[in-house]
Chains A and B, each alone.
Chain A
Amino acid sequence: MLNRQGRPTMPAETVASVSDTFSGNRALAIEEDLIFEIGRVDTTGVDVEQPPSFTARLGKLARRAPLGLPGLSEPETMRHYVRLSQKNYGIDTGLFPLGSCTMKHNPRLNERMARLPGFGDIHPLQPLSTVPGAIALIAELARWLRELTGMAVVAMTPKAGAHGELCGMMAIKAALAARRENRSVVLVPESAHGTNPATAALLGYRVVSVPARADGTVDVDEIRKRLSADVAAIMLTNPNTCGLFERDVIAIAEAVHAAGAYFYADGANFNAIVGKVRPGDLGVDAMHINLHKTFSTPHGGGGPGAGPVALSAALAPFVPLPYTVVNADGIAYVEHAGRPAQTLAGRPTASARHGANPERNGDAGNAGGSAPQAERAAAGAMPLGRMCAFHGQMGMYVRAYAYMLSHGSDGMRQASEDAVLNANYVRSALADVMSAPFGDQLCMHEALFDDRRLEGTGITTLDFAKAMIDEGYHPMTIYFPLVVHGAVLIEPTESESKESLDRFIASLRKLATAARGGELARFREAPRFAPRRRLDETKAAREPRLRWTAAQERQEAAE
């Protein structure tokens, strides 16, 4: 049963301010107005050269209306955005145990690499002959991802996890079309991320839910009951959003394949198993990889992400454009369907050759290659086409590749082991003060609790999370997955030291004890020390104010 109670959206009551300064500032916590209130339309922080006079060629379309865009000088800009930054919590601030989001350390080397002019200052449409290193990097990253997933090809271009899901599900739909089959159902477990059903629906599929077992995993019999010749695919997250490895995954894959359907895996939780087990060995046909989770490209306040999709041999012919093919002559880059690939003069670099097996690369191709193309022609399949302009998220590829080179096969395996170890350490240390929905069992990289221990206290999961803010922590994921009441999903990642975890555990234990002890104010008034108290989300939704308007306009609108 999906629980839809959601989180409260309106603060309980208005409270008195704990601030009594004249300015509203609190020492280092400084209030900051909008650029529209501090900027001026005739101020600029960029000196632009004045060109010699010339005859404009804008026809009748030269702008007449003023823009009303405020400008700031450089010192004002610095101060404005530095002050805004100080109202944010990031991984560098402290532990960020946001379940299912993998908030691991972002190495600064990766930022430096992405800013090398040879990566950051190259244009997507300059001649391929002037960017062999960029194509080599894409091909090389794809090779690492192929090896890590154990899958045939990797579609690199999807721009985020949800975009990767769309790409993978399109490949499945295209493969079915090539088989002259028109299936209409996609199975999605109740614990899935919301993007899964949204993606299936976007492609016209009817979503059929699969309930979870009492132990938090998916029941293969429940899947079998729902499988038919009308089922296109199952979308399964593994490890799942309850932090558990789907132990019947092999049986699930076999049942799905026996019904002629495909196995889509949501790779959101790949960080638990890198170098430990390969999705391709489990029967997965398509899996997106969130480079911003597993491979540590910065989350940046909600993007940009990158969502390459690993595809099985069965789906390889349906890889979207463009893609690279590594063969004996070098790296070929395919930008158009049905046209010969352009092989770059540049051979794979020393690093690209390292550990590579050219024969296997040549056969399997990175993404497509001659063999899959031939299959495609034979099947009369429509090529998938483009998911987006250009080549995908190059800036993210560079960062992810730097992460991979830095870690290597040994470091990535160790990272996954540490991520799982850290999560279990937290889970076992909290087991006696918090309630685990599926009993006392080991977890993967994240530990799930529910709100039964809060029953009767008058304190909700949201209150508990807000109290964590006052203690200096970013809250964990709350009210997700929906299969658990008042869910609390903790993913510490491998980036935390034992000392850091011990402090975190101690704080959570004290909060849990305080909650049981009836210290209501500590929770219901939280956060008390953040830049803002609880915000009125109901008001925001009922009276949407989505852009700045001058006070005068507001006044008029109100009248």
Chain B
Amino acid sequence: MRYLPLTDADRKAMLAKIGVSTTDALFATVPHDKLLGGLLDLPKGKSELAVERSMGRLAAQNTPAASVPFFVGAGAYKHHVPASVDHLIQRSEFLTSYTPYQPEIAQGTLQYLFEFQSQVGLLTGMEVANASMYDGSTAAAEAVLMAHRLSKRRRAVLGGNLHPHYRETIATISRMAGDEILAAPPAPAGSEELAQLIDDKVSCVVVQSPDFYGHLHDLSTLAERAHAVGALLIAVFTEVVSLGALEPPGAMGADIVVGEGQSIGNALSFGGPYVGLFATRQKYLRQMPGRLCGETVDQEGRRGFVLTLSTREQHIRREKATSNICTNSGLCVLAFTIHMSLLGEAGLRRLAHLNHANAVALAELLVKVPGVELLNEAFFNEFTIRVPGKAADVIESLAAKGVLGGVPASRLEPDRAELADLIVVAATEVNTDEDRAAYASALREVLEC
């Protein structure tokens, strides 16, 4: 087996040194009748070439985003990632290192975590950011738990246009932890009615902008309303590129900002691994979940970085920890940080501008297709269209014509008949004029027949 360096001669010599005669003697404490005598009912090992063949066949059954005109978003976005990003994250010293518990030989990891936290703070307009969560949805769930700890209340109000998977992720942990959620119904036309749900029993209000249907929201009024009753405003985004073009949630009164960072540096990869961004105000620092990297000095007085404030964390505090989270998204953080360093402010703003331009161009093209209605006034790189008939069928027909045209809202909200004719459409820098024209003409054909 190519990954196992020991030879049979080694094994024999080592067993002798240990003072046992067989390998199974090392497993003597395992109940004898439970020890497996032979191999399990699974295939035997394969050569690298054979594995490539086998997995290549599986991969070939899927339609990659880059192979077709591609407009699928709704929480994960197809962006161009510079070649240097993937090269750098595959450096052995990054790829095969562990959580930086020995900071003297992990300054590489620690310094990029510090750079990442700084970048996320600047993007969101918040004072402190952690070293990442698993993804946007779990970051949102952790934000709700944090708000409960801070407010000592246990009811969260969720905006109707919060990504349905985020809502469900929050709902799962809330139900299991015995907390309450009040989720407003979806408002695909854009106007969420949340004010009447907010009272002094409420711990936090969770709203997304750009929201699931692509609408943009000024969160200031909602923040004031929440603060007036002692509740926190949790702002969510799923498209981090939008922060290059839009006012940051921190400037609109958000207390906690969470979002998905996949768009920068990370592949679509069918939904994971991604990178959850989590930022808050300095005054809430001690209730933050997840790892934090901080600056300090070494014995010679040189600047260095360490994981810090770990008295919040499970490996120190055990049952009194702020979260049970242990892992973060280290390598996805690195990809994010490198891509963001390449972009810089100038590049990010241009990228955001191009995304918005492509979305506007696409929307203008699609509304010309008979029967198609655009639901958005203001939007960034994603919007919602209403089509005659079932959106899911339209999307399947488009796929059959080689266009991946978006996400039918019914894929995520199957129980809401009123959403059955809606498609959430995303446009990014990867789309060309030809892609947009292909989409419009395929949609015209699908709707005509």
Contact = CB atoms under 8 A, between A and B. Distances in A.
B10 A414 contact: no
Interface string B298-319: 1111101110110101111111
Contacts of A335: 411
A534 B245 contact: no
B17 A428 contact: yes
Nearest to A279: B34
Given A35-B115, A170-B172, A428-B17, A87 B291 contact: no
B329 A304 contact: yes
A391 B326 contact: no
27 contacts: A41-B346, A51-B353, A61-B217, A65-B125, A69-B343, A71-B345, A90-B95, A109-B51, A112-B52, A131-B270, A132-B62, A133-B60, A163-B138, A299-B97, A299-B98, A303-B332, A304-B329, A351-B43, A385-B169, A389-B271, A417-B26, A418-B11, A469-B105, A532-B298, A535-B104, A536-B299, A546-B294
Contacts of A425: 14, 17-18
A69 B25 CA distance: 60
A410 B106 contact: no
A106 B61 CA distance: 26
Interface string A144-169: 10011000000000011111011000
A46 B115 CA distance: 19
A381 interface: no
B440 interface: no
Nearest to A202: B324
Interface string B140-178: 000001000000000000000001011011011101111
A123 B72 contact: yes
A300 B331 contact: yes
Contact of B216 (A59, A130, A198, A204): A59
Contacts of B107: 84, 87-88, 531-532
A541 B294 contact: yes
Interface string B162-203: 010110110111011110000000000000000000000000
Contacts of B106: 87-89, 301
Residue with the highest number of chain B CB atoms closer than 10 Å, among A43, A207, A395: A395
Given A44-B342, A85-B94, A88-B94, A160 B327 contact: yes
B42 interface: yes
B245 A62 contact: yes
Interface in B84-141: 84, 86, 88-109, 111-112, 114-115, 117-119, 121-123, 125, 127-129, 131-132, 134-138
Nearest to B174: A385
Contacts of B395: 127
A202 B64 contact: no
B59 to A, nearest CB: 3
Interface in A338-375: 339, 346, 349-351, 354-355, 357
A351 to B, nearest CB: 5
B20 interface: yes
Contacts of A74: 82, 84, 342
A125 B324 contact: no
Interface string A378-403: 00001011111111111110100110
A98 B98 contact: yes
Contacts of A407: 1, 3, 45
Given A88-B105, A109-B51, A406 B3 contact: yes
Closest 7 CB pairs between A and B? A71-B344, A390-B271, A118-B59, A300-B331, A133-B61, A124-B271, A408-B45
Interface range, B side: 35 or more
A163 B134 contact: yes
Contact of B304 (A55, A475, A532): A532
B249 to A, nearest CB: 11
A173 B52 CA distance: 41
Interface stretch (A225-233, A269-277, A514-522): A269-277
Given A85-B93, A119-B58, A247-B31, 12 more contacts: A14-B299, A44-B343, A57-B376, A59-B377, A85-B108, A88-B106, A96-B96, A119-B59, A194-B314, A202-B145, A303-B332, A396-B273
A6 B313 CA distance: 14
Contacts of B217: 61
A90 B17 CA distance: 29
A559 interface: no
Contacts of B45: 405-408, 410-411
Interface in B69-91: 70, 72, 74-76, 78, 82, 84, 86, 88-91
Nearest to A117: B64
A475 B109 CA distance: 17
Interface in B406-428: 407, 411-412, 414-415
B61 to A, nearest CB: 3
B115 A122 contact: no
A81 B176 contact: no
A523 B444 CA distance: 75
Residue with the highest number of chain B CB atoms closer than 10 Å, among A65, A74, A137, A298: A298
A497 interface: yes
Contacts of A267: none
Given A80-B341, A122-B270, A276-B27, A301 B105 contact: no
A63 B406 CA distance: 27
A105 interface: yes
B361 interface: yes
A174 interface: yes
Contacts of B104: 466, 469, 527, 530-535
A199 interface: yes
